[in-house]
Chains A and B, each alone.
Chain A
Amino acid sequence: DVKVTQSSRYLVKRTGEKVFLECVQDMDHENMFWYRQDPGLGLRLIYFSYDVKMKEKGDIPEGYSVSREKKERFSLILESASTNQTSMYLCASSQAGLYGYTFGSGTRLTVV
């Protein structure tokens, strides 16, 4: 069963900490995405990557960075976590030239 795996289901971090959210896909997909999901706001794109070491900003990149050193792994980094980054974070992947996304189950991050 092909899938996107997010390393943590729940995470609690303190304000100012550097936070790493990890995502791994086993489908050999070229594209990977990070979204955050908030009630009433839907899913908003933070960053995406269309190839190893390539990245592009999404709609809300402020306060985040990403890393893609290997095709199967895409990391989201919160340089200095703040309480307004408390959210559900969803990773997704897709094959180049195709539209369908496969999502992971999400990481619920709480910043206290």
Chain B
Amino acid sequence: QQQVKQSPQSLIVQKGGIPIINCAYENTAFDYFPWYQQFPGKGPALLIAIRPDVSEKKEGRFTISFNKSAKQFSLHIMDSQPGDSATYFCAASKQTGTASKLTFGTGTRLQVTL
């Protein structure tokens, strides 16, 4: 049972384009929605995150859009660069005792071409 569904599986855009990665969730108990970026040979690193009481968050060229009623959220990368080529994971979290347990999407492999 995939609690967080992510699409597309892979994406190729030209430099300067705006790739969009989408995620949907089922569990309304989720209260934190981060995006992680992973380069080959490295572990995932937190990129940007949003809480469900906010509809949009921007950090540099990265924007999360959040639609609570539709239970969907997406990552937009403005003015994409070849250095943005990586695998991106959305995730959703809920508190379990003292631990915040993350449930991840299946990942999107992004390639930004020159």
Contact = CB atoms under 8 A, between A and B. Distances in A.
Classify chain B: how many residues form its interface, as a range: 20 to 34
B43 A92 contact: yes
B42 interface: yes
Given A4-B43, A103-B45, A105-B43, A96 B102 contact: no
Contacts, number: 69
A9 to B, nearest CB: 9
Given A33-B101, A94-B99, A99-B102, 20 more contacts: A30-B98, A33-B102, A40-B9, A41-B106, A42-B89, A43-B44, A43-B89, A45-B102, A48-B99, A48-B101, A50-B98, A50-B99, A56-B96, A96-B98, A100-B34, A100-B46, A101-B102, A103-B36, A103-B43, A106-B43
Interface of A: 4, 30-31, 33, 35, 40-45, 48, 50-51, 56, 58-59, 90, 92, 94, 96-101, 103-106
B41 interface: yes
Contacts of B21: none
Contact of B34 (A35, A43, A90, A99): A99
Interface of B: 6, 9, 32, 34, 36, 41-46, 49, 89, 93, 96-107
Contacts of A48: 99, 101
A40 B100 contact: no
Given A48-B99, A99-B34, A42 B104 contact: yes
Contact of A42 (B34, B98, B105): B105
A50 B95 CA distance: 11
Contact of B100 (A42, A58, A99, A106): A99
B45 A96 contact: no
Given A42-B107, A45-B103, A99-B32, A90 B43 contact: yes
Contact of B98 (A31, A44, A105): A31
Nearest to A3: B43
Most buried by A among B42, B43, B106, B107: B43
